[in-house]
Structures are given as structure tokens and as C-alpha cells.
Structure 1
Amino acid sequence: MRRTVCTLLVGLIAYTAFAEQRESLRHESGPDPNRGAASSDPWQTIAPYFSPPTAWQGQFGDYPSPLQFTDGTRAKTADDWERRREEILQDWESKLGKWPDLITEPDVQILETIRRENFTQHRIRFDWTPNEQTTGYLLIPDGEGPRPAVVTVFYEPETAIGLGTPDRDFALELARRGFVVLSIGTTEASQARTYSLYYPSIEDAQVAPLSMLGYAAANAWHVLANRPEVDAQRIGIVGHSFGGKWAMFASCLFDKFACAAWSDPGIVFDESRESINYWEPWYLGYHPKPWRKRGLITAENPAYGLYPELRATGHDLHELHSLMAPRPLLVSGGAEDPPRRWEPLNHLIEVNRILGYQNRVAMTNRPEHSPNEESNKVIYAFFEHFLKP
């Protein structure tokens, strides 16, 4: 978590410097000709990552098949899967808490507009929960629409637009490639070290905070879908680390996201890894304050709330992954998502197989948690392939 705080501080420091950069941004002559160019064939870039390494082919680990109904029977056809999918969704929604009604016609206020490279950047404000507004950045490339679009999520929205840690500037790079992008983040909550969203209040959250982040991203989808520049059928989502968890829950629980890229969130529960900390109060372990001391679960520092209930009843996140089928998914794996994560992903491949789809589940791997130029190259090609006609 120390590196998380450092990342947040870098983003916030960059934001304070942003005002000084605005005038120069207004007068930029154009994008770097060596960056942001779409590859001639994105599929050639991403194709190798849709097959598990030999050691992980056909390996399903100890994860129960999401194809198995609660009565013990198994989904074998697409019609079976539709019933099983609804069973999984209802089960998880009953545990996570029911979302408030989505904000399908958002009132978007434009606070500032500047010109950057080959796109226009708007700083905007909109309601992302029934009782809370957020400020983010809407990047609209030059040219005729409607265009594909992507929601980017992180601790704050400045990093994704290029004002934070290098190689986490997903919004900037996607805008350079012709995508409309909406960058959002939990700035105020991150400053307060509560990180997430709590509904109706932090004193009495009725929806698991990580699920509530998914709800906020679904409302951000509607912000994009209501734009004349955007093709609502071609909106994806991407996030790294905390943002990867956020993007995962958003895309699994809200099926209007056409595809998703999750950068090293820790795609399944793993209590040996401090950064795969779904047990924390701001994710799936919400409990009224005072909160548990941050860190690994121990006898002296147990987990509370929903998380231990999920573990006790044998649930894991591969069940949520299955809700992505047949929408394309890329896991940009690092230290928290090594190649063995093909075990849960193989279950998703099986669901796609029943539905008649292949090449819908991909994973890259790098040793470090942080994304890099090579891993991001695959993310951008993934969106180019699946969201651009």
C-alpha cells in the first residue's frame, strides 16, 4: 500500500502543477509523431496472448466451475448459460447489495475546456451516485463521430490524462489513438484514505464499496453514451491496481461495457498477497468504524463484513469473471496476476466455448506490478481491435 500512497501523492502533486501547464497545453502544435499511432494490425499484437502457456492449458485449479448450477446440474448450452448467468448475478447482487437506480440521463457541467494535441479536453462535473458528484476529464479527439470510447478509473483522474506516474496515462494514449475517453477517480476519498464510495453513507454502507465503484462507473458509461461523438455500443473500461479492481467489478456487473482491460488487480482472492486486499473496508470487507488496521489478515487483525462470508461459503471472483462472457477481456498481469491466473481464466474460456466464442480471454504477464510500455501496447491494441470497426 506504500506504493499506492506514493502514486496518489504523485498524481495530486501533478494536479497542483496542472494549472501552470494549461497555457502551454493550449498552444501545443500536435502529438508526438512517434506516439499514439494505431498499429497497422492490432490483432497481430494481441493474438499471442489468447492462449495459455502449455503448463496452464486445461488447468482449472481449485475453483468450482461457474457452469455448475446450485442444484448440482451443469450448463451445457447457451440457453442453459443464460439461466446460470442470472443465478450467479442474483447471488452476488444479494451479497454485495442492490445498486441505486442508474443515472441514465446525467447532467454534465463543463468546468473548463482546453486544446491538447489532436483532441479537446473538458474538465467536467456530474452525479456519479444519488448523493455525490465527481469531477473528471472528457477527452474528445478531432474528427467525425461516432467513435469508440473508454472509461479510465484510478485514485484520481489526473494520472490517466498524463499528469502522474508514467505508463498509467491510459486516457491520454487512448485519446491520441482516436478514442473518446472519460477519466474518473476517487480524489476526495483517496485524500481521506477511505478510497471508495459508501452508500448511503460511510457510517452505514448498504452496498459493498467495491460494488458501489462499479455503479459509479456504470453512470460514467451513461455520460459517454449520451455524447453525440460516442458509439454507445463500443465503450470499454480500463484501470490499474485499485483501478483494475474497480474496472473488474464495473465490467462484470454492468454488461453494457463492450470489453475490459484489468491491469494487475489480483483477479481472484489471495490472502498471501497484501495488495490483493479485498478484505479491506473500502473493498469487500466494509464494517463500521473504527476500521481494522490495514494489512494481511491475522488472528489479531481479522477481516470483517462480507469478505469472510464469501470465503466461508466458497465464493471467488472467477464467478464474477464468467459474467463477462462473451465480451472480450484482457488481464494485463504483473506481480499480483502471474501466469497461474490462467486457472480461473480457463473457466471463463469454457463459458465462452459453450456460447460459441473463442479468442475472448487474454492475459499478458510482467514481473513488476507497474504497467510498462510493452504491456500498455497490448492494452491499446486490444481496444483498437475490439472497439474500432
Structure 2
Amino acid sequence: MTLSIGTAGTTQNKTYSIYYPNRENAAIQPLSTLAYAAANALEALSKVDDVNPEKIGIVGHSYGGKWAMFASCLYEKFAAAVWIDPGIVFDDTKGSGVNYWEPWYLGYYPPPWKSTWSKTGTNAKGIYTKLRKGEYDLHELHALMAPRPFLVSGGSSDPVERWIPLNHTIAVNKLLGYSHRVAMSNRLEHEPDAESNEIVYSFFEWYLSPNE
């Protein structure tokens, strides 16, 4: 059973996310609000007949991959997760593919917004700049997944060198007594293909099947 959330409406009206309490005066970063929305979706799905609340996973691609990553790391009831080429760490070299500096992700400031969809975070505002200056990165967020399993379905935003930050989460799992909880597949393009999708399906079948 699948519960799909998110619409094209925020793209059409150029708000791109959800904001609490509103876009003009958001009290928390939009990615955290998205994570909260996903957590509520899990709670709703867990009450559906024939759904095992202990076996609910989450997956998303690109923007949705960022959403899935923050949601699964911040809400421990997600049993497993797949992040499809979201840009799993801060990286100014990948252009708009890894644009956490945008105001609808981690660079929120009250509108009107200027210079959005920029290729780097040079003119970023909000908490994003504080995180970068403080030398924080998203591998610290990934650690919250342990010991729950996750797969990075990497494309142009998440090439094979992303194993470097992923090794931090492998180390956390090892400390907790677990292994084989961090996986990554790679392709050249940002968009998933038939092969990468099959890996995603197999990952969820392996970790979320009734006998696991």
C-alpha cells in the first residue's frame, strides 16, 4: 500500500514548500515542516487496516528525496528509507540540484525572495549560512537513521564519492552493533531509470517484508 503526498500546486504558485504558521513568518525551516507533514502521513497510514505500523518506509526523488531524508531522520517510526538523488550533503558544485540554500529548504527568510534558483549559496540567508559557517553538514542528520536501514539512489547529485559521508553513518551503526544498514546505487543521470527503480523495490522488499 502506498500513500503519496505532495502536489504540483506549490510549484505553480512558486511557494515550493509548506510553512508554519505561514510563508510570511515561518517559525521553523521549511524542510522541518515537510518532515512534520510526512510524520503525520505515517500516523494516518498506520491506522489503515492491513498496514503494519512497524513496516512503513518512505521514498522521494530530488526535492522529494530531501523531504524523505529529513522526514526519516527526524521521525524514528519510519522503518526504512530511500533517498533518490537529493544531494545528501551540502555541495555548492552541483548547481540547483543540491540547493539547500533556497528559502523553501534551509535558507528561509521572509518574502519577497530574490535571486532564487541560484547555482550556488553565495547569497544565501537564514539558517543555511549559519550551518555552513559552523562547519555542520548533513552526515550529522544521517546518523539519526541508525540503526534503521536506508538506500541512497544516487545520480548526478549524489555520485559514488558520497560514500565518504555515508561512512560516518556506517560507523554509528557499527557502534550500535549493526551492519549492512547503509546502501547506495549509482547512475549518471538525475532521473531514476528502470535499473535504479528495481533496486529501490528490492531494498524495500528486503527490509519491509513480513518475515524480516
Q: If the length of structure 2 is used for normalisation, what is the TM-score?
A: 0.96
Give deviations 1:250-270, integer Å, cap 9, x for gaps.
Answer: 000001000000000000000
Select 1:297's aligned residue among 120, 124, 140. Answer: 120
| Partner Cα separation in structure 1 for residue 100 and residue 32 of structure 2 | 12
Alpha-carbon contact 2:82-2:152 (below 8 Å) kept: yes
1:134-149 paired onto structure 2 within 5 Å: none
- The answer on 1:271 being equivalent to 2:92 is yes
| Distance in 1 of aligned mates of 2:129 and 2:140 | 17
CA drift at 1:187: 3.1
Runs of 4+ residues deviating >4 angstroms: none
Residues 16 and 104, structure 2, Cα contact 8 Å, conserved in 1: yes
In the alignment, structure 1 segments of 5+ residues that lack a partner are: 1-179
Give the Å deviation of 1:297.
3.3
Would you say the 8 A contact 2:3–2:45 is kept in 1?
yes
1:123-169: CA deviation from partner (whole Å, max 9, x where unpaired): xxxxxxxxxxxxxxxxxxxxxxxxxxxxxxxxxxxxxxxxxxxxxxx
Name the % identity.
59
Partners in 2 of 1:229 and 1:253 — Cα distance? 25
Contact 2:92 2:121 in 1 (8 A): no
Q: Counterpart in 2 of 1:53?
A: none
Q: Are 2:15 and 1:202 equivalent residues in the alignment?
A: no
What is the CA-CA distance between 1:360 and the residue it aligns to?
Answer: 0.4
Match of 2:154 among 333, 342, 346: 333
Distance 2:25 2:152 in 1: 33
- Please tell me whether the aligned partners of residues 186 and 196 of structure 1 are also in contact (alpha carbons under 8 angstroms): no
- How far 1:321 moved relative to its partner? 0.2
Query: Which amino acid is 1:347 matched to?
Result: H
> Equivalent of 2:64, from 222, 239, 243?
243
For residues 9 and 37 of structure 2, the distance between their equivalents in structure 1, rounded to whole angstroms, comes to 15
Q: What is the CA-CA distance between 1:188 and the residue it aligns to?
A: 2.2
Within a 5 Å distance, the mapping from 1:129-168 to structure 2 comes to none
* Equivalent of residue 283 in structure 1, options 78, 95, 105: 105
Contact kept in structure 2, 1:292 and 1:303, CA below 8 Å: no
- Equivalent residue runs for 1:24-103 within 5 Å: none
| Pair 1:369-2:190 in alignment | yes
Higher-strand-fraction structure: 1
Aligned partner of 2:6 in structure 1 is 185
Check the 8 A contact 1:264/1:334 in 2, yes or no. Answer: yes
Counterpart of 1:323 in structure 2 is 144
* CA–CA separation in structure 2 for the residues paired with 1:248 and 1:215: 12
Q: Which amino acid is the alignment partner of residue 100 of structure 2?
A: Y
Q: For each residue in 1:218-245, what CA deviation from the matched residue of structure 2 results, as whole angstroms up to 9, or x when unmatched? A: 0000111011120000000000000000
**Paired residues for 1:98-137 under 5 Å:** none
RMSD between aligned residues: 1.0
Distance 1:313 1:183, change over 3 A: same
Pair 1:232-2:60 in alignment:
no
1:307 matched to which residue of 2? Answer: 128
Q: Is the 8 A contact 2:99 2:121 kept in 1?
A: no
8 Å contact kept, 2:85–2:153: yes
Query: Following the alignment from structure 1 to structure 2, what is the Cα–Cα distance between the partners of residues 293 and 347?
Result: 34
Structure 2 distance, partners of 1:292, 1:327, is 39
Number of aligned residue pairs: give it.
208
Unaligned runs of 5+ in 2: none
